[in-house]
Amino acid sequence: MLQYQYIVLVKLTKKGDSMVTIKDIARLSKVSTATVSRILNNDPTLSVTEDTRNRVIEIVNELNYKPLRKKSSKVGNKQMDVYQIGLIMLNDETIDPYFQSIRHGIENTCHQYSFTITSTMMVGKSNITAESLSDLDGLIVIGDIDINDLTKIYNKNDHIVAVDYLPQGTNIDVVISDFEGATQQVVDHLFTLGHTDIAYLGGKGNVYELVENKTIKKEDTRKCTFEKIMKDKGLYNPAKVLEGDWGSTSGYMLTKQLMESEMLGSAIVVGSDPMAIGVLRALHEAGIKVPDDVSVFGFDDIEAAAFINPPLSTVRVHGNEMGKTAVKLLYDRLKGREIPIKAVLPAQLILRDSVGERKK
């Protein structure tokens, strides 16, 4: 899967002192209220001219606009503090729906805890500094971002939840999927079908540093688990383990590479469904039948997996639940829990037509 990263920023709201509204700014700027909101929230996906952006900012400054915030809100029969949540993204999540599902889980759970998403920023385009984080009560970090690096510029170090990344030596909450157990299940299933000549295609693992704006090489859990299993069985061949990025084009090109080097084998484990779609395309073009000639097993269970030809066997990862769990853990921390929790969500094998018995 693509290694998209996000940080969700959370802070306690305070009552505003201005009667100016976004509607007023939109009227004077001659743009929609949604455009004003997205400009104020530094939404990197917004496409507007610099003149429009500058005009909105000038009017905001002239009117001394400040968002009206409530100090508390009634949820059910409980009076709860209201928190603002911002989203920081590293890449375009639309390429891989897995990370989109995590974000949706966060969004769909926020109202239960009086959390409101108010800003969207992109790593590499937005300036994440100690000053920008100083007033925040908590962070939810989605993806491979160096937590130790983050704690250098954020002083509430135990108010961080890491999602889809397991940092070492930190006092923070973590939400991950059981990729190790799922990979073991995938390979074991292929073994039961008679496959021993198995290749692995995945994306390169990188941990992103916020302070130095660099990346650190890391080994992906799926790849490491696959290699260990194959080595233990005496079946490991490094030429059958290839890495690129997590998209369909990479899956396509890596499969071509396997075929050109005659290392295709009878089954391929693929680290993400978008990659697996590229794998299937390359095999189809080469006249290689799936699963008669080669079985293909993916990861994620994106919506398209059930509708491609043949339908893709894959690992269902519960991204939506990961997002929901992250919000719950952060809320507990903000309410005083001191002991860090590591939540490991199970992954589920979804068997479809792209995997079959090895032909004799």
Pairs from 216-222 (Cβ < 8 Å, separation ≥ 24)? 216/146, 218/144, 220/271, 221/179, 221/180, 221/183, 222/179, 222/182, 222/183, 222/269, 222/271, 222/299
Tell me: the pLDDT tens digits for 169-215? Answer: 788 999 999 999 999 999 999 999 999 999 999 998 888 777 667 78
- Count of residues making up the chain: 360
pLDDT number for residue 17? 43
Tell me: the pLDDT tens digits for 72-130? Answer: 555 555 666 676 655 556 665 666 788 888 888 988 998 888 776 665 556 666 677 76
pTM: 0.77
**Residue 272: pLDDT over 80:** yes
Alpha-helical (H) ranges within the chain are 22-29, 33-40, 50-63, 97-110, 130-133, 147-151, 179-192, 221-232, 248-260, 273-285, 319-334
How many Cβ atoms from other residues are within 10 Å of residue 124's Cβ? 15
Average pLDDT value for residue range 33-53: 76
The whole-angstrom separation of Cα 120 and Cα 48 is: 16
DSSP string across 131-146:
HHHTT-SEEEEESSB-
Domain annotation for the chain: domains and CATH numbers: 6-50+67-177+320-345 (3.40.50.2300), 179-317 (3.40.50.2300)
Tell me: the pLDDT tens digits for 13-33? Answer: 433 444 677 788 888 998 887
pLDDT number for residue 19? 67
